[in-house]
A and B are shown apart, each in its own frame.
Chain A
Amino acid sequence: MPFVIGMDVGLVAIKGVILEDNHNIAQVIKETGVKPALAAKACYDELLTKANLSHGEIKGFGVTGWGAKRVSLGPDLSGPDLKIKSEVVCLAKGAIWALPTSRTVVDIGAQIVKVARFSENAKVKRFDQSDKCAAGAGRFLDIMSTALELDVARLGKIGASASKMVEISSQCSVFGESEIVSYLNTGEKIEDIANGINYSIAKRVSTIVMRLGLEEDIIVTGGVAQNPEVIRYLENMLGTEFKRYNANPQVIGAIGAALFAQEIL
């Protein structure tokens, strides 16, 4: 089976994978920065290095995400044509790859929350997404953890040790940050504030999910899927249990893009 690359060029992070015979043999996650084309090229090169492959061995290249149209391999490299696909179809494709019984994917990315329901052959039946505000998406957690002077990756763990929940009432990231600073000044514990942040984001995501309607099995993708407290709250709010799978939740869209590239070889 030939090697194919899939890349998901998000607003904050670029995610790349190499598939060989449907197996993910290498993955890279990098910051997108202000020049997505350069970041994509660096991601591509890093993938080749990790998999110990040369450019000539790559037979397909699928790209998705906000910055997909900005990606090129540059004038010095001729190679497989870029196949650009929308994030939603790639997420559905990737979700089926990660868990063949999945029928709903909830993607909590940095700026946008996307929810899609799809058939067994990954045909999207319906999807919805958050609108212009990043509240409820990963960026919200980044801003809040910065205000708490915490690594965002620890927000879930710290929140789990809370003795109570501090209510984050604002749905706006900027106002939410102000609320947190106020709570810190009034002596609230960091773990209680973290607990409130995790709950707040789950609440926001749950409304989008319910608007679309659930269909089992459900998987969660995107960076926020790695926050166990958000996931726990979301499961409680939706009255369901998300299915776990053996892949990094951040690269599911990139895998979907790679699968599309593979299909048209």
Chain B
Amino acid sequence: MEPVPKELEGIELFQRYLTTFELIKTALTSFETVEDLMSAAPEILKTLPEYGVKVFQSLRPDLVVAAFHPKNRGAVLKCAEAQIPFWQGIIDDIKADKPQLEFWFAQGPELFRALGFSPLCSEVTMVASAMYKEGCEDAIDKFRMKGFADHLCTANVAYPGYVMNGNWKPPHVMVKPGTPCPSSNLAYQAIQKWYGNEYVMYDSTYYLDKDGLMHQSDAIKRAIPKLEKISGQKLDEDLFRQQMEESNKTYALCGELLELRKNKPNPDPGMHRLLDLLMMVTLLGKPSCTEYFQFIVDEAKERLSNGGTPVIPEGKKEIRALHTWAMNAYTPELYHWLEETYGMTYITCGLSYFIDHQVDTSSVDSMIEGWAQRIMNFAMERQSMSFGDVWLDDMIYLAKDWDADCGIFGGNLSCKQGWAISKLLADRLEDELNIPSTRFEIELSDKRTCPPDEFKHRIGSFVETILID
């Protein structure tokens, strides 16, 4: 990996994200088309500092083209506008030595903010690295070079790679439930061993019922005093309530958005799903997150009233795809390509299936329970529940009520949870709903497992089987 300049030691990755979102905002507010942007690029480059030029040149052209498409650009801009202050805040907090907490992605950041931390999702690289030609493969390899197996999930192991290289300052504490995710468990343990920071792991539950919820929320309650000791601050009930009330609004909009996707054609572009995930893991509990989802809900409604750019080209027959596990997080513009090429729209996927659970904010206990319930509802956690039947039932429900034409299982190669149910899921889709499905191996953040062209080829082959009558 490239050495980190001294002035960016510990914050380089966050500075890169900040610079990128600033560039995206400037590009989308200054130019109508990507052609305009490219013709102005030589002049723009002259005005940028050396670091900005480097970031500009590392952006993936296909993603930029997709971001400029009228159906995508509004959401991309809204997301960029929200991300700029977020990353600036992370950099400022690190410089001010505010207690830094890194959390596994199924948890929301609200509780951690109320405990006085500057929280950051460790798997944020999974979504943010999609913006760059180089992705995060160098960071993944950096971690592997320490002797770790190459079948560990790339959504988790880029994080320690960046820490090792100095792009990311080790946090004061890392927090995760004990979910059966060996990759994150190993990565976090390694960081703790190498850098001596705290690691708080609390127990997970395997049953999605009242007892399971009590078990989960009790485990969280037992972890809170440890976190208070690390941050030196008691849980701020008012701040927690404020955050949870805000995230209630966000989740309500997620629910509304999912309902809107029942319409035909689906009025919500597939490329938004990666933006949704980025917004949830960085800004949930903040008004800017709610505003982003409000924007895309409004945009989808506008499309339904024939007022906006259609998601699939006029005259193309819609194919409604349910992505039954993960998205491909390294080239999200491929979902734009599927819409344009085949008229294939994106109902949802495991990583963008945000179940609207409204949290009772009347007391700290009720808020912790609600926060726990959302963890149990999130990807990875929900798949681990019971014997897999919870997730299978979810997917059948989504396929049926959203009238899916097909299921696509882009299985993260390293994810045991996902692969364990892939055939059960395919069988149920076929037996109960007569819906065809396919499956193939990807890695969430490593394009070397299934390069973009191979991805296109595999999904394209499958889509053609659906198109033949």
Contacts and interface: CB of A to CB of B under 8 A. Distances in A.
A128 B430 contact: no
B427 interface: yes
B462 A85 contact: no
Interface in A124-166: 124-129, 131-132
Contact of A86 (B439, B440, B461): B461
A191 interface: no
Given A132-B441, A211-B423, A127 B464 contact: no
A123 B466 CA distance: 8
Given A131-B441, A132-B450, A86 B436 contact: no
Interface residues of A, number: 20
Contacts of A213: 427
B438 A123 contact: no
B465 A86 contact: yes
A126 B430 contact: yes
A35 B291 CA distance: 52
B441 A85 contact: no
A192 interface: no
B441 A127 contact: no
A24 B440 CA distance: 34
B464 A89 contact: yes
Interface residues of B, number: 21
Contacts of A123: 465, 468-469
A86 B460 CA distance: 8
Contacts of B441: 131-132
Interface in A63-100: 66, 85-89, 92
Contact of A126 (B437, B450, B464): B437
A122 interface: yes
B426 interface: yes
Nearest to A84: B464
Given A88-B465, A132-B449, A125 B436 contact: yes
Interface in B421-469: 423, 426-427, 430, 436-441, 449-450, 457-458, 460-462, 464-465, 468-469
B423 A88 contact: no
B22 to A, nearest CB: 37
Contact of B426 (A85, A87, A89, A126): A126
Nearest to A210: B423
Contact of A128 (B427, B438, B460, B468): B438
Contacts of B440: 129, 131
Most buried by A among B426, B437, B464: B464
A91 B460 CA distance: 15
A87 B462 CA distance: 10
A238 B436 CA distance: 23
A92 B461 CA distance: 12
A88 B462 CA distance: 8
A237 to B, nearest CB: 17
Nearest to B429: A126
Interface of A: 66, 85-89, 92, 116, 122-129, 131-132, 211, 213
16 contacts: A66-B457, A86-B460, A86-B462, A86-B465, A88-B464, A89-B468, A92-B465, A116-B465, A125-B430, A126-B426, A126-B436, A127-B461, A129-B458, A131-B440, A132-B441, A213-B427
